[in-house]
Amino acid sequence: MANTFGIKGASFSKGDVVDFKSIDKVKVLSHLWVYAKRHTVRIVLVLLFVVVSNLLALVAPVVTGKAIGTMEGAGKVNFDALFQYVLLLGFLYLSSAVFTWLQNVCMIQITQRVVFDIRTDVFNHIESLPMSFFDSTYKGDIISRICYDIDNISSCFSTDIVHMLTGFITVAGSLTMMILINPTLTLIFCIIVPVTFIFARKITKFTRKLFRTQQYKYGELNAYVEEMLTGQQTVKAYCYEDTSVEGFHKVNKELNDSGYLAQFYSSIVMPIMNFLSNLSFLMVSSFGALLILQGRLDIESISSFILYSKKFSGPINETANIINVIQSAFSASERVFYILEVKPEARDNETEHLGNVDGAVEFHDIFFSYVPDKEVITNFNLKVPKGSHIAIVGHTGAGKTTMANLLMKFYNYDKGEIRIDRKDIQNIDRQDIREQYGMVLQDTWLFEGTVMENLRYGRFEATDEEVIAGAKAADAHDFIMKLPKGYQTVISEESTSMSQGQKQLLTIARALIADPPMLILDEATSSVDTITENKIQAAMDLLMKGRTSFIIAHRLSTIRNADTIIVMENGKIMEQGNHETLLQKKGTYYNLYNSQFADV
């Protein structure tokens, strides 16, 4: 189950991560401004429309007071003047509504562009991050940040920021008009205002932490659901349904509790704000009545003053709800921009390019650790002539897959050198390096698309004939032709129309079609039955001919013909030689081999 930050137990590579707590308000706002300032013209228009709309609305109470003032006493009304004021009010309210609509249209355009840009930048940045980030972060939490959290930012941008601007102008304008009408009555009204602001500030500071926790819990829940759904077959196979549901209830309850606390304390704000607003209205009405009796205020002025006091109080009361949304959006922004704070793969020293590759590889005194002071690879030395086939075997955790990660530059080693054609890969562009390898992993990955598109993934320019030839070499052509639309059949990562072995055949065919000078095969035949494995092995032998190949295998039957077999244990080479030589030594390889074939 995910923890608070959606980060698994393992830590990132050294220097790859910025502490979440280091992202403060100023930094979040600066991030948002980077996106908002791209739409300066629209922002200026929004501000203009907001000002005009609110100024028109602020004139309305004065006109309303004038309309009330058309009463001449004893039930007599100056209908001509009243009609003129009514027409003027209609024009003011209609004009204000038009400008409000225009400001909303502009703000929606700004919001959609900002959110589009944020999503684009976050996803592009994710594609530039090191493997350590993905190995240490739950996929569900990343998805939650890209989707749910950015939607929260969108909601805040589209409505609440405009409401805050409108509220500010309304409050400032109303206060100005009240002072002009009667300073004494304004002073009485404003007695409650400091209390309101102090209360709002205190509750906001408290609820912000709660809303941040709520956002974290959303990420946890999303990560847990994604984890359980992905492993549903295993869940059912081990009768883990009840435990899975219990785990969901636990995470869901934590989200519910954090959401309840955030909403409960924020819900206190509105009733208290309304109470304070009504209290100020009561004080204004009472003192206003006294001023009228003393002849210091007329009915026209008190009517306008009361309307302005209501206008003044409205935005302040709404601030409670707006602040809740903004708090949630601010926490969401922190989570989204946290991803942008993770450093991408370092490329400072990558000034060289490989060019044409022969495929000679050297490991010289390699030391590596995922976590500081816990070495996984220790003093590893190996020379791999071009075109040779190197098999890497050993118990689970011996460091076999780590060697593949270092070869592909998914991780940078701590000490030593790995050279390709005598060039240190630390100085070579990582894309150059990765283009030289065809890689087949134990875990298959197919994206949603046609079979042809999936097979062409390693070399987009491959012709249909080359794709079909690669599929035939991997013994995948026959079952592909049995699919509903053959090579044009649409499949997905979670496709159930193919067995795991068939999916693995497609990934092997994909590597064949890529036609790279070097290969990494990490348990490439682990999901294939013995008969199919033999067919694939023949194709693999053909593929590996003349290419430098690294084969990581548990099935020792697949690496008997390797030029050199490396036996690893605790990140070190324990034995090295070909199949016959290592059997004669009767050491670790001999024991591994006999444990698999003793009963054959």
Res 7: pLDDT: 39
Confidence label for 5 from pLDDT (cuts 50, 70 and 90): very low
The answer to whether position 151 is within a domain reads: yes
The answer to whether position 290 is within a domain reads: yes
By the 10 Å C-beta count (0-12 exposed, 13-18 middle, 19+ buried), 148 is classed as middle
By the 10 Å C-beta count (0-12 exposed, 13-18 middle, 19+ buried), 580 is classed as exposed
Identify the weakest region by mean pLDDT among 226-235, 250-259, 277-286, 412-421.
226-235
pLDDT tens digits, residue range 504-547?
788 888 888 888 888 888 876 665 666 766 766 776 777 777 88
The domain tally of the chain equals: 2
Res 4: pLDDT: 35
Domain enclosing residue 110, as ranges: 20-39+103-341
The answer to whether position 228 is within a domain reads: yes
Give the DSSP H or E segment for 33.
Answer: helix 25-36
| pTM recorded for the entire structure | 0.69
Handedness of CA 509, 514, 515, 520 (dihedral sign): negative
Domain's final residue, options 341, 360, 389:
341
Asked whether residue 468 falls in the same domain as residue 327, the answer is no
Alpha helices (H) in 231-298, listed in sequence order: 232-237, 241-267, 269-293
The mean pLDDT value for 90-101 works out to 90
Confidence label for 418 from pLDDT (cuts 50, 70 and 90): very high
Res 162: pLDDT: 77
Domain's final residue, options 341, 359, 387:
341
3-state DSSP call for residue 14? coil
Asked whether residue 453 falls in the same domain as residue 336, the answer is no
Asked whether residue 330 falls in the same domain as residue 456, the answer is no
Asked whether residue 337 falls in the same domain as residue 482, the answer is no
The answer to whether position 266 is within a domain reads: yes
Handedness of CA 32, 34, 37, 38 (dihedral sign): negative
Domain's final residue, options 341, 375, 407:
341
Asked whether residue 287 falls in the same domain as residue 139, the answer is yes
The answer to whether position 1 is within a domain reads: no
3-state DSSP call for residue 51? helix
The answer to whether position 175 is within a domain reads: yes
pLDDT at residue 236 tops 80: no
- CATH number assigned to the domain comprising residue 249: 1.20.1560.10
Residue 447 in tokens: 């994206």
Res 48: pLDDT: 92
**How confident is the prediction for the chain on average, in pLDDT?**
80
Asked whether residue 148 falls in the same domain as residue 283, the answer is yes
The answer to whether position 408 is within a domain reads: no
The answer to whether position 238 is within a domain reads: yes
